[in-house]
Amino acid sequence: MTLEKRRVVVTGVGAVTPLGNTAEETWEALCKGESGVGEITRFDASAFSTRICAEVKGFEPEKYIEKKELKKMDTFIHYAIGASIMALENAHLEITEANAARTGVIIGCGMGGLATIERYHATLLERGPRRISPFFVPMIITNMASGQVSMYVGAQGPNSCTTTACAAASHAIGDAFKIIQRGDADIMITGGTESVITPLAIAGFGSMKALSTRNDDPKRASRPFDRDRDGFVMGEGAGILILEELEAAKRRGARIYAEIVGYGMSGDAYHMTMPDPEARGVVRCIKMALDDAGVQPEEVGYINAHGTSTPYNDKHETLAIKKVFGEHAYRLAVSSTKSMTGHLLGAAGGVEGIFTALAIYHGILPPTINYEHPDPECDLDYVPLYARNTKVKVALSNSFGFGGTNATLVFREYEG
């Protein structure tokens, strides 16, 4: 006997990004086509080949975390707690004794507390092992974002973390969706967080030639699908969604941004960092998500692309879209919001999941800014330069990570 799958909806969003310290600020800036990219201020980057990034600006973690606790946490945890509290407030949802055991947390993160690792490594070398904080390990491990959020809000249900590079947040959202769908929880706090604008990360990605070196023009450096793209721009922040079982959300009169209806995941089994030139893994991933959702390709109106602004990723994602959607690929809209936020690595799918749900809810498709020179291999409708008022019923969010890991989420307009 096959049990009917429970329906899952998005009822709250919270974000800390280079475009704003709330989801509302971020969405407003996104629709205006603003860029969050600028010069690196976290450290002296004058000797680096890349001297630009997309930093969070003016975030005040003490609004959400007691001052005495702040120093026990890395910045990626600060962002996760702040965005989670904002998402619960946005959903008008309180975790109580009655619902705590049915409320879970899954937050993805790619690299954890790298800034803390760098700082304490220097301390170890300069001052010795006795100067290492007893909070060092809990500060750096990726699952402490989920752990600390669960403690701060009192969520006693499933508690986990996905660490799948740049697909981490989308895998977290997909896994949270499935947990509710199969009945293991009624509410999930989910998304991603990351903060690794550090000397070691910038040097490491720079040595791979993955980062843009358009240092003299930061706001135009992230240019997904554009012929002159030269690499991604490092970003940071957190994006958190509140997922709820539909009937529970309806009973409390919740606002519903969108319904999440499908999730696909696959592996390229090709190369540690390069995408498969035939895009076979991505094609399988998108098809799996559509099949899970019961959605036909021609029903999709918008795709929030992974769209990193790297030469290989953009053309191979374009190829995958063409293979899945055929002629319909030229009728749907595709945009990369990384043109404005930069690439938030493990947090990317969280903020982009929010953008995809809000695009459906508001009937506005965010643009791909800096798309000025068409690339013959990237010839779809990338919503260039300006946001577009267009109502879509079904939208996808794509995320792909090093190691050849892929994730696709399918969102649908909620029709009560």
Considering the candidates 166, 171, 285, 316, report the single residue annotated as catalytic: 166
| Residue 343 is among the residues annotated as catalytic for this protein | yes
280 and 228 in one domain?
no
- Same structural domain, 283 and 230: no
280 and 136 together in one domain: no
List, for residues 266-298, the tens digit of each pLDDT value. 998 999 888 889 999 999 999 999 999 999 999
Between 416 and 244, whose confidence is greater?
A: 244
The burial class, CB within 10 Å (0-12 / 13-18 / 19+), for 75 is: buried
Residues in contact with 400: Cβ distance below 8 Å, sequence separation at least 6, in sequence order: 166, 167, 275, 282, 306, 313, 317, 406, 407
Are 108 and 171 contained in the same domain?
yes
- Do the beta carbons of residue 242 and residue 392 sit within 8 Å? no
Choose the catalytic residue: 78, 109, 161, 306. 306
Q: Do 311 and 235 sit in the same domain of this protein?
A: no
CATH of the domain at 370: 3.40.47.10
The pLDDT tens digits of the residues spanning 309-338 come to 999 999 999 999 999 999 999 999 999 999
Residues β-bridged to residue 239: 15, 192
Tokens 């006997």: give the residue: 1
Q: Name the strand (E) or helix (H) holding 316.
A: helix 311-325
Same domain for 296 and 238: no
Residue type at 252 in one-letter notation? R
Q: Give tens-digit pLDDT for 142-154.
A: 999 999 999 999 9
Both 365 and 401 in one domain: the answer is: yes
Do 222 and 311 lie in a common domain? no
pLDDT digits (tens, 9 = 90+) for 341-369: 999 999 999 999 999 999 999 999 999 99
Q: Where are the beta strands (DSSP E) in 252-292?
A: 258-267
> What pLDDT band is residue 2 in, cutting at 50, 70 and 90?
low
User: What's the number of domains the chain is made of?
Assistant: 2
- 166 assigned to active site: yes
What percent of the chain has a predicted confidence (pLDDT) above 70?
99
Q: Examine the domain organization and report whether 190 and 159 are in the same domain.
A: yes
User: 394: pLDDT confidence band, cut at 50, 70 and 90?
Assistant: very high
Q: Give the range of the structural domain holding residue 379, as residue numbers without chain letter.
A: 262-412
> Which of 213, 229, 251 is at the close of a domain?
251
Question: Is the pTM value of this prediction over 0.85?
Answer: yes
Q: Which residue among 232, 251, 270 closes a domain? A: 251
The verdict on 178 and 325 lying in the same domain is no
**pLDDT tens per residue across span 165-208:** 999 999 999 999 999 999 999 999 999 999 999 999 999 999 99
